[in-house]
Structure 1
């Protein structure tokens, strides 16, 4: 799977109807819903703001809507294009301004599919790196020693709480998990309990 890195847009005109396709990076269905509200507010003069999204590590979180277009002619074709792209954590909106000519169901399916394909041709993506979330507690002196080596393991720090001890939360790529466990074990002589959290 790949993830979308940045916003992109494209425009398509079909029989005087204008289709503005936009893609956005997202992390959840809730974020997609908020973005859709924002898009509908932004384009109040449009006839339809159709959307589709794919999220989750394996693209397992999906959603779409025809937004008043005939059932199955807009959201589902757009979602099919998204699913076929192998991109996750992506939201697509296609905003339509009616041009006075009815396109028919086949014409609508083609217009929304083509809009999705056109904007995806501009998508900037990178490979999705599967990560494990971990936590551990250590003394301040242990933390000073460990901290310098975290970059070697591509650790992404999420949080460090400093109280009596240092409590560390972070993420690490799947392939670095075993070497990281060995490093923590050796560096602390078994004194630090490294816990991997279920996502």
Structure 2
């Protein structure tokens, strides 16, 4: 299972630390152009803010990544945000943390904790998307066995994309790689090995996990 990017587009979380407001914005961005456009949009929306600090990672290999302190002391804002993305093993995502200064200085350590906490809160709020290898599987069996087999499908983590009813019943399924053997075993037991089974090469599907 490979963690990829955020679930929602542009989730926003706000926290207050020593009277300063930290508003974190997060969005899925597939390219650096999208990342920069998102940052520009947030800066326009919060043009009166003291700082709009940001970080992004683009691409599965994470070759494209950037952090911007936007006027905060060097290394106290953009880098902590970027480190959250790295720690969470995310890519194709951009975070912008907007700060409205409340009059109390936080110091370097306080800023690092504030921007890190803000980014973490945004990730938690958005939820993560995982890529999972799923095999398209076609199963054909007699009507006699459909009741038991469909009961199994309702309890298993298997997606039925379509069902065709002709002289027999054909199920078009998406099955995780690790669940293939269990599916075959159930079919063998249920149909006394009278089923037809076609398995195609795996494709990547998305699974959402809310923190």
TM range (shorter): 0.5 to 0.7
3-state SS of the aligned residue for 2:99?
Answer: strand
Give 2:202's match in structure 1, choosing from 175, 179, 186.
Answer: 175
Alignment of 1:11-160 (within 5 A): 11-128=14-131
Instruction: Give the whole-Å Cα distance in 1 for the aligned partners of 2:201 and 2:35.
Output: 27
After superposition, the CA RMSD in angstroms is 2.3
1:95 offset after TM fit, Å? 0.1
Corresponding pairs, count? 138
SS at match of 2:80: helix
Q: CA deviation at 1:152?
A: 8.1
Q: CA deviation at 1:61?
A: 1.7
Structure 1: 4+ residue segments shifted above 6 A: none
How much has 1:120 moved relative to structure 2? Answer: 1.1
SS in 2 for 1:72: coil
- Aligned partner of 1:4 in structure 2 is 6
Bigger Cα Rg: 2
Find the aligned partners of 2:117 and 2:23 in 1 and give their Cα distance.
Answer: 11
C-alpha distance in 2 between matches for 1:38 and 1:123: 19
Moved more, 16-25 or 4-13: 4-13
CA deviation profile, 1:112-161 (whole Å, cap 9, x unmatched): 0111111111122222369xxxxxxxxxxxxxxxxxxxx989xxxxxxxx
Q: What's the TM-score once normalised by structure 1's chain length?
A: 0.64
Distance in structure 2 (CA, Å) of the matches to 1:124 and 1:32: 19
Give the Cα–Cα distance (whole angstroms) in 2 for the partners of residues 114 and 72 of structure 1. 15
List gaps (5 residues or longer) in structure 2: 134-171, 175-199, 204-211
Does structure 2 conserve the Cα–Cα contact (< 8 Å) formed by 1:51 and 1:78? yes
